[in-house]
Amino acid sequence: MPTYPLHKPEDSKSIVVRRNGPYIVCGGVPLVHKTQVVSEFGEPLTWKKDEEIEAGDTYELCRCGHSMSKPFCDHTHKQINFECTETADTRSIRDRQVVFQGGTNIIVKRDFSVCMDAGFCANRISNIQQMVGQTDDTTIRSLLIAMIERCPSGSYTYSLAEGELDVEPDYPQQIAVITEMTVDKPIMGPLWVTGYIPVERWDGKPFETRNRVTLCRCGLSKNHPLCDGTHRMMGIKED
């Protein structure tokens, strides 16, 4: 299997997945903490930036979920013999996307393979798939676009006409350590990577660079290195 250097040029931003180990972040990628903002009904609405986390040009982020220095790796993965196989789909986004037919002013697409069930695609009244057919209504179309652009994994995307490129929100190049809100407690969410930062798999398989990527940091995903929402089912409390 290929190996990767722990250090890359400072102007080369990237995230390297180490075999059974942490994420190696290179190139001085800013690290922040964000909290999910929810309604009084528990519906995800948007994100709130809480703070910037001091890191460095190169740093290691925990992937096994057991570090005592989260979000940073403290090499606990070696003590617990953490083992993890990368199973995320390596086909191109176009090969994976499903197109939802609806109004004439927007084309909605979904890549189910990267979904982490963050919940931004629905509220107690409706959901994106139901709203697609009503997007000739400007108000509904505007709400649908906002819901899609707040989806952290990029599972949902949209374009404005047939054959056009997907419209992506102008997110900064950074990694956000996410805290998700539930009715009774905050729980540990994924690492939210934005701004087209390349993620290099340890097995050397190609991994398409995307504007929005959610990486597992609990160690329990069945879709490594991507988050699949398992942390939510387990209710892992945020440290």
Residues 68 and 19 in one domain: yes
Cβ atoms of 190 and 116 closer than 8 Å? yes
pLDDT at 174 over 70: yes
| Domain hosting residue 38, numbered range | 14-88+173-234
* Domain assignment of residue 144, yes or no: yes
Mean of pLDDT values over 47-56: 96
Mean of pLDDT values over 204-229: 95
Residues 125 and 225 in one domain: no
Residue 11: pLDDT band (50, 70, 90) is: low
Residue 104: pLDDT band (50, 70, 90) is: confident
Residue 101: pLDDT band (50, 70, 90) is: confident
The Cβ of residue 233 has, within 10 Å, a number of other Cβ atoms equal to 10
Residues 121 and 76 in one domain: no
Q: What confidence tens digit (pLDDT) does each residue in 110-168 have?
A: 999 999 999 999 999 999 999 999 999 999 999 999 999 999 999 999 999 888 899 99
Residues 46 and 139 in one domain: no
The pairing of beta strand 199-200 with beta strand 14-17: parallel
Residues 142 and 37 in one domain: no
State the DSSP string of 186-239.
Answer: EEEEEEEEESS--EE-TT-------SEEEE--SS--SSTTB--SHHHHHTPBP-
Tell me the C-alpha to C-alpha distance, in Å, between residue 147 and each of 122, 155, 174.
8, 11, 21
Cβ atoms of 225 and 201 closer than 8 Å? yes
Residues 195 and 228 in one domain: yes
Burial class (CB in 10 A: 0-12, 13-18, 19+), 33: middle
Q: What is the pLDDT of residue 5?
A: 39
Residues 43 and 138 in one domain: no
Mean pLDDT of the chain: 91
Residues 26 and 46 in one domain: yes
Q: Which residues have a Cβ under 8 Å from the Cβ of 196 and sit 6 or more positions away?
A: 173, 209, 210, 211
Mean of pLDDT values over 174-199: 92
- Single residue among 133, 159, 185 that ends a domain in this structure: 159
* Domain assignment of residue 200, yes or no: yes
Residues 83 and 100 in one domain: no
As a whole number of angstroms, the distance between CA 109 and CA 97 comes to 6
* Domain assignment of residue 106, yes or no: yes
Q: What is the pLDDT of residue 239?
A: 66
The pTM of this model reads 0.92
Cβ atoms of 89 and 26 closer than 8 Å? no
Q: What is the pLDDT of residue 7?
A: 41
Residues 24 and 78 in one domain: yes
